[in-house]
Amino acid sequence: MIEPRIAVVIEDDKDTRELTELVLTQSGFTTVSASDGAAGIEAVREHDPLLTTLDIQMPGMDGFAVAKRLREFSSTYLIMITSMASEIDVIQGFEAGADDYLVKPFRPRELRARADSMLRRPRARADVADAPAAPGSQPEPQPEPESWAAAAARDLRESPIGPGTPEPAPP
């Protein structure tokens, strides 16, 4: 039996969340999104995704804390996608439980390649009892002018990624 390809996208920035969802959907995933850490933990608990992407800088609970909570009950492949690029941030991400770390602005094809590479490795199932989730969630952030992620998503929609298709460079 083939395992369903579900991905949870935990990202407070609407444009980045939509771009990530688009890339993963084009890779064959069904996506579930959350705009804050607490909602993301609940989504992972409810959907048991094969893959989860996680931002670090979010309102309420940061991505490092979310990753640690996820590792208490989930073996989802975890890719941190964040603008935090210092060596200590990357190390903290891996120590918190990330399987991979991608810095914004990212190239959509790179995210797709990283997700595909994780799927080539066997997934271990967590045998840890479910931990209680953090209550509450934050309101959706208000839209801002088109970001790098919105522009990349628009370009991706207009010209789907395929073999031999050049990828637009980030602004």
Q: Are 62 and 38 a contacting pair, CB within 8 Å?
A: no
How does 101-134 read in b/e, with b if 16+ C-beta sit within 10 Å? bbebebbbeebeebbeebbeeeeeeeeeeeeebb
Mean pLDDT of 41-46: 98
Mean pLDDT of 130-136: 43
Mean pLDDT of 139-152: 69
pLDDT tens digits for 66-94? Answer: 999 999 999 999 999 999 999 999 999 99
Q: Any idea where the domains of the chain sit in the sequence? A: 6-118
Residue 71, sorted as left (phi over 0), alpha (psi -120 to 50) or beta, turns out to be alpha
One-letter amino acid identity for 38? Answer: A
Q: Which residues pair with 53 in a beta bridge?
A: 9, 79
pLDDT for res 127 = 45
Domain 6-118 CATH class label = alpha beta
Rounded Cα gap, residues 47 and 4, in angstroms: 10
Mean pLDDT of the chain, nearest integer = 84
50/4: higher pLDDT: 50
55/115: higher pLDDT: 55
Q: Is the pTM of this model over 0.85?
A: no
Mean pLDDT of 41-47: 98
DSSP 77: E
pLDDT at 126 over 70: no
Rounded Cα gap, residues 35 and 17, in angstroms: 8
